[in-house]
Amino acid sequence: METVSENKCFGGVQGVYKHSSAATGGEMTFGLFLPEEAEETPVPLLWYLSGLTCTHENAMVKAGAQAWAAEQGIALAFPDTSPRGPGVADDDAYDLGQGAGFYVNATQTPWAPHFRMWDYVADELPKLITRNFAVDEERQSITGHSMGGHGALTLAMGLPGRFRSVSAFAPICHPTAGDWGRKQLSAYLGADETTWARHDATLMLREVGLEIPLLVDQGSDDQFIDLLMPEALAEAVAKRRVPATLRLQKGYDHSYFFVSTFIEDHIAFHAEALYA
């Protein structure tokens, strides 16, 4: 593992690190914020999964999350959204290939060898971080934005016991039913839709439910709301009687201005679970 940069930030350190990834068969970059408390003792870890077109950097510089993570004594992990580089398959569209890993393990050509973001985020990167930094692997929570909200929800339900709480900003709620999902799941996983189900938060919620606290914020003026389908998640939450807080925020859109507005609430929500 190689240190790309470390900047002091809110009393802690915002680092960027590179490493050779077995899961994706190439070099991966991630951001990690460690609060001051990590100098003394392992701290809880909140994962932030990003959306389409993002790298590890977008949320790290735009979401304003470090202020509140420092206040709560929580570390923040910012993974990339896909494998990258000249040897990695890509597509001209912004929503397929590099920058659009969708947090699945691809089984189809040409994506299969590198696009294994589920394994990377579920397994390899947590091990790397908990072994190399002062974070407590027993206290992890997860959040994300848009495609990253989809990732946060499906990882939380697919890895029961791993996380203490889950939240999302404008998540893709029902990817098997919409254009942000069907295109990518068919490309990465193939035509057999039974393999898609565990990557659909609405279907997972109906099927397996959720045992940890859930918070979702969605802007009412989100330009992508028809692709996100918050109504599908809301219905599944209500039907399954999942304890959850789903908030529709009047006038907010899909941007980081929306995320930064509500990130304080999300980090406070996770802190309650992580310090319970």
Closer to its own copies at the Cβ: 184 or 218? 218
Nearest distance from residue 58's CB to its own copies, in Å?
10
Q: Which residues are catalytic?
A: 146, 222, 254
Closer to its own copies at the Cβ: 70 or 129? 70
Pairing of strands 214-219, 166-169: parallel
Nearest distance from residue 70's CB to its own copies, in Å?
8
Nearest distance from residue 264's CB to its own copies, in Å?
8
If you ran DSSP here, which 8-state letter would residue 39 be given? G
Interface residues with its own copies (CB under 8 A) are 7-11, 14, 61-62, 64, 66-67, 219, 221, 251-253, 255-258, 260-261, 264
Locate 106 and state its tokens: 């691809």
In whole angstroms, what separates CA 204 from the centre of its chain?
A: 16
Nearest distance from residue 170's CB to its own copies, in Å?
13
Closer to its own copies at the Cβ: 66 or 81? 66
Closer to its own copies at the Cβ: 107 or 255? 255
Nearest distance from residue 258's CB to its own copies, in Å?
7
193-212 as b/e, with b when 16 or more CB fall inside 10 Å? eeebebbbbbbbbbeeebeb
Q: Measuring CA to CA, which residue among 245, 253, 252, 243 is closest to residue 269?
A: 245
Q: Measuring CA to CA, which residue among 136, 118, 198, 163 is closest to residue 273?
A: 163
CA 141 – CA 210 distance, rounded (Å):
14
CA 158 – CA 125 distance, rounded (Å):
16
214: Cβ–Cβ under 8 A, 6 or more apart, which residues?
A: 156, 165, 166, 167, 237, 242, 243, 244, 245
Closer to its own copies at the Cβ: 136 or 264? 264
CA 88 – CA 111 distance, rounded (Å):
8
